[in-house]
Chain A
Amino acid sequence: MNNQAALQLPFSLQPLFDFVGQVTGGSANAFIILVAALKILLILGGLLQTIPFIILLERKIIGWIQDRPGPNRAGPLGILHGLLDGVKLFFKEEIMPKGVDKVLFLMAPSLVVVPAFLALCLVPVGPIIQGRNLAALANFLRLDPTMVGPGGVISQIPMAITNPNIGILYVLAITSMGVYGITLAGWSSNNKWSLLGGIRASAQMVSYEITLSLAILSVILLSGSLNLYQIIETQRGGFWNWHILAAPVAFILFVVAMFAETNRLPFDLAEAEAELTGGFHTEYSSMRFALFFLGEYVNMVIVAGMCVTLFLGGFYGPIQIETIPLTALQGGWDGLASQFSQIPSIIITLASYLLGPLVIFPAKVSFFIFLFIFARAILPRMRYDQLMSLGWKRLLPIGLINLVITAIAVAGDLAYRASLPGGLDANPHIFLATKLILGAVTLGLFLGWDALIFSPARKKQLTTEYRNLERGADHPAQALAQ
């Protein structure tokens, strides 16, 4: 019984490839371009469809927390609200105030959105299709096996738009470009609130990028690669392999820096509607304002995706369900094969491949989206000096110490593995025990930080000083204390 050969698309896609091949010079180019275009369409399109619902969800959840219904007029449960918001923004009048720097004013919104979309190229939403599964897929789609298939022009299709070797570095580089949009919007608006917002944004994002990089560096040390797929591959096998257990402090630093990088509460000092009327986007209206809005939400999804990739095992589930190989099914793999052999195997393969990008990855990303929304609903905004002192005086030293401890552990593990019989080839991965001990030690140090370096008396003194600083020197409570 050979289901694999039997099930094919009822029509051939070859004319499409022939047509694109004529335009782009050679059918090899056509395959590369069409596969890339399809991935861009699916990932970008999927994200853009989701964002109105994220916004709706945010307003609903905040409404629920604040004990009010939230948007509930447009459509059942207010589902159409996001759509109507978009339409409204589209038809609003575009206002350009007097005295703006026109070039920079027009350029700023796109400088926010373009880096956000560029960073999206790298987010690995699903596994790499390769080997006999790719052959099966090519057969199903009636594609030329010398073009798509093992040993063909396209020998593997990662479920990310692109997969360069320096992956995480690309993401860092591109997301660090996003700050220009916000800063320039603040500068060019010819408005002092906007300018203040822009200045705050540039200082804040540069400061917290350091914390972000330090957190990412410990993950790079643990996985020994910059490539996002290899970072996920080192976390394969089950939730006990996830880097969150080996680098809990780096995870905490990453999450904090993530909020600061996306300018979300409690770090939204660049907008700060209570003090700056809207900050950098005060003077923007209509679609240009919508672009800032869109950029913020795309950035949220991207940093959440990065966090999932780096610390939570990416598209792999908490317990590994191995991608079911086709031949194993046909050859009678356990008793399972006879159960499943009635179903065309291509469908099982597709299902096992789509579990990651359609269920597991979105579920993990949504967790962080919820975190963003909850934080916005329940946390007050930090003051500017608190923000800077948190970034430079607390997170930065913690990140450095964490990095040094991680490096020592990884180097020790490497030396031990090299001394074992068989050397590094026989033991290519860091031992689970090392990871868990490292995680426990760093988390213990992080939580016991206060107890370790401050005596109770000094701690009390510091707390009093900090409280006084919080209240301000002329606060009546402090006058009483003196």
Chain B
Amino acid sequence: MVLFLYSILFVITVALAVGVLLNKDTVRSAMCLVGVMMCLAANYLLMQQEFVAFIQIVVYAGAIMVLFLFVIMLLNLREVEVLPWYLRNARFWGGVLALLFFFVVGFGINVFRSSHGIPGVVAKEQALAESGTPEVIILATQMMTTYIVPFLLTSVLLLVAVIGAIVMARRRDEDGNEIVLDPEEVDA
């Protein structure tokens, strides 16, 4: 039964992913990507990882893709514009990157399966999972103890990205001086 559901999900996911690539209309393409995100969430649900599944929907389908859609609609990208130089050979380089990614993921899974995980860490998680503690509590304890350093590093990385976005979005005049918007001039 579960295998049957997995196969259906697989077909839908791949169909939607192909739809992302082949749709000429950017909005439809983005909606296909939303579908892919939902399918991934359904996949996590089948693995009984409710928390990851709904975080997937909240973050990717609910926030990131809405922003994508917002930008597409704001810029009104109806048709494909002239490609910049670094996208001329996009198919070739995309293919190379996809292959590389495939090998990296395959290698990672292989290492993980043959070693049965890093002793201590994965064993502890398995023991926790088998103890019947709610999944959220397991995740939270692990994140705040074993994985505290990567967790904090990720949050610092996000902070850097936010500050970077603000710096890039600041308006400058031709001499590179920052334009400060005077509140009295905004409506003028």
Per-position 1/0 for A138-166, Cβ under 8 A of B: 00000000000000000000000000111
Q: Which residues of B contact A17 (CB under 8 A)?
A: none
Distance of A375 from chain B, by nearest CB (Å): 25
Distance of B73 from chain A, by nearest CB (Å): 5
Segment with Cβ contacts to A, from B26-34, B155-163, B167-175: B26-34
Q: Which residue of A lies closest to B64 (CB)?
A: A206
Contact A184-B50, Cβ < 8 Å, known A101-B25, A203-B70: no
Contact A474-B188, Cβ < 8 Å, known A180-B34, A183-B73, A465-B183: yes
Q: Which residues of A contact B55 (CB under 8 A)?
A: 169, 173
Q: A209 within 8 Å of B by Cβ?
A: yes
Per-position 1/0 for B42-63, Cβ under 8 A of A: 0000000011001101100111
Select which of B28, B66, B135, B136 is within 8 A of A202 by beta carbon. B66
Q: Which residues of A contact B73 (CB under 8 A)?
A: 183, 186-187, 195, 198-199, 202
Q: Which of A174-229 contact B (CB under 8 A)?
A: 174, 176-177, 179-180, 183-184, 186-188, 195, 198-199, 202-203, 205-206, 209, 226
Q: B81 within 8 Å of A by Cβ?
A: no
Does B188 lie within 8 Å of A166, measured CB to CB?
Answer: no
B contact residues, range: 20 to 34
Contact A104-B70, Cβ < 8 Å, known A166-B54, A173-B58: no
Q: B67 within 8 Å of A by Cβ?
A: yes
9 A-B contacts, Cβ less than 8 Å apart? A104-B28, A165-B135, A173-B57, A176-B66, A177-B62, A180-B66, A183-B73, A199-B74, A203-B70
Cα separation A187 to B69 with both chains bound (whole Å): 10
Distance of A399 from chain B, by nearest CB (Å): 16
Contact A209-B185, Cβ < 8 Å, known A170-B54, A183-B73: no
Q: Which of B34, B61, B187 has its CB near the most chain A CB atoms (within 10 A)?
A: B187
Q: Which residues of B contact A172 (CB under 8 A)?
A: 54, 58, 62
Count CB-based A-B contacts (< 8 Å): 92
Q: B84 within 8 Å of A by Cβ?
A: no
Q: A468 within 8 Å of B by Cβ?
A: yes
Q: B184 within 8 Å of A by Cβ?
A: yes
Q: B134 within 8 Å of A by Cβ?
A: yes
Contact A166-B50, Cβ < 8 Å, known A177-B57, A209-B62: yes
Q: Which of B51, B73, B184, B185 has its CB near the most chain A CB atoms (within 10 A)?
A: B73
Does B54 lie within 8 Å of A183, measured CB to CB?
Answer: no
Q: Which residue of B lies closest to A385 (CB)?
A: B186
Does B34 lie within 8 Å of A176, measured CB to CB?
Answer: no
Contact A184-B135, Cβ < 8 Å, known A169-B51, A202-B66, A469-B184: no
Per-position 1/0 for A89-120, Cβ under 8 A of B: 00000000000010110000000000000000
